[in-house]
Amino acid sequence: LVKLAQRAENEFVGVKCGIMDQFISMMGEKDHALFLDCRSLEYQLVEAPFEKLGYALVVINSKVKRGLVDSEYNLRRAQCEEAVRALQKDLPYITALRDVSINDLELINNLPIKLRKRALHVVTENLRVLDGVKALEENDLETFGGLLNESHESLRKDYEVSCFELDLLVEIATSLPGTLGARMTGAGFGGSMIALVAQDEVKDLQAKVTSEYTQRTGISPEIFVFSAAQGGITRKVD
């Protein structure tokens, strides 16, 4: 079912998306993150200890609408594939950017600027994912929050899929002392961001974001506090 959902988006909608959204929707478990190998589809459930440590995940919708097919989303995929082909001249064993090590930074730096930036984001983001899993396993939310910040900066600067409104939301959220980290989420070019916020600071965050974001953009954001939920289930109805 997960693969069929991805295929529908790839072939019918026309977006060359991955499989993460479909996978977590089906395989997610309450109060857990999911660490997924998108090549083998092997996965590991990782406890997300936010609530028990006094923190909440807050989703803020920028209300900037995006059209993925008409955006540069598919272009990013094509640029990553082009970077792989260029790197294969020196690294013939690689088939995707996940096979490239940070030790190959010199080769990455020799790529044309756009390809260099795309490759650098993917390679460093994969490292951040590994560090993020470790941080969650060790209940180290400060490190996890810092990784969120680093991820957004890479998405903004190297992958270039953020936008003014998302950057503004991250800026406002991270200016508050109770926020450990924030990043855009999803495909970018609009949509939402997430912030890891102390539970007793959530109301202050909601007030400041609503006031400042609306004042600077003329848009009233949507703000949701959520926790990791159960994925798809089957239920017999009599």
Separation CA 62–CA 162 (nearest Å):
11
Q: Which helix (H) or strand (E) holds 60?
A: strand 55-61
CB 165 within 8 A of CB 217: yes
> How far from each other are the two terminal CA atoms of the chain, in whole angstroms?
24
The tokens describing 186, both together, are 């999803």
Cα dihedral 198→201→205→206 (10° resolution): 110
Separation CA 46–CA 26 (nearest Å):
16
Separation CA 15–CA 48 (nearest Å):
30
18-27 per-residue burial string, b: 16 or more CB within 10 A, e: under 16 = ebeebbbeeb
Query: 21, 104, 140, 167: which is the annotated catalytic residue?
Result: 21
CB 114 within 8 A of CB 126: no
Q: What is the residue whose two structure tokens read 């803020």? A: 60
- Confirm whether 21 is a catalytic residue: yes
CB 149 within 8 A of CB 181: yes
Catalytic residues, by residue number, are 21
